[in-house]
Structure 1
Amino acid sequence: MIKNLKYNIYQQHCPARLFFEKIADKWVLLILNKLEQETQHFNLLKKSIQGISPKVLSQKLKMLERDGFIERKVQNTSPIRVDYSLTLLGLEVAKMAYQLKDWAEQNIEEIILAQQRFDEIQAEQTE
Structure 2
Amino acid sequence: MPKAPPGACDDEGMTLTADQSREREQHRYNASLEFCPARQLMEAISSKWVTLVMLALEEGPQRHSELRRRIPGASQKMLTSTLRTLERDGLITREVTASVPVRTDYELTHRGQSLLPVIFRLKEWAEDNMDAVAASRQHHDRVRAGVAAGQ
* TM-score, scaled to structure 1: 0.90
- C-alpha separation between the residues in 1 aligned to 2:87 and 2:30? 25
Count of residue pairs brought into register by the alignment: 126
Q: After superposition, give the CA deviation of every residue in 1:85-127 in whole Å (9 maximum; x if it has no partner).
A: 1001111112211211121122111110000111111122222
- Higher alpha-carbon Rg: 2
Task: Give the equivalent residue in structure 2 for 1:22.
Answer: 44
Shifted more, 55-64 versus 71-80: the winner is 71-80
Task: Give the equivalent residue in structure 1 for 2:61.
Answer: 39
Secondary structure of residue in 2 paired with 1:79: coil
RMSD: 1.7
Q: How does 1:1-127 map to 2 (within 5 A)?
A: 6-126=28-148, 127=150
Secondary structure of residue in 2 paired with 1:10: coil
Aligned residue identity for 2:94: R
Aligned residue identity for 2:140: F
Change (3 A) 1:107 1:59: same
Q: Which has the higher contact order (CA 8 A, sep 6+)?
A: 1
Q: Which ranges of structure 1 fall in alignment gaps of 5 or more residues? A: none
- C-alpha separation between the residues in 2 aligned to 1:59 and 1:125? 42
- C-alpha separation between the residues in 1 aligned to 2:118 and 2:141? 31
Task: Provide the identity percentage.
Answer: 37
The Cα shift of 1:38 comes to: 1.7
The Cα shift of 1:41 comes to: 0.7
* TM-score, scaled to structure 2: 0.77
Q: Which ranges of structure 2 fall in alignment gaps of 5 or more residues? A: 5-24
Change (3 A) 1:114 1:32: same
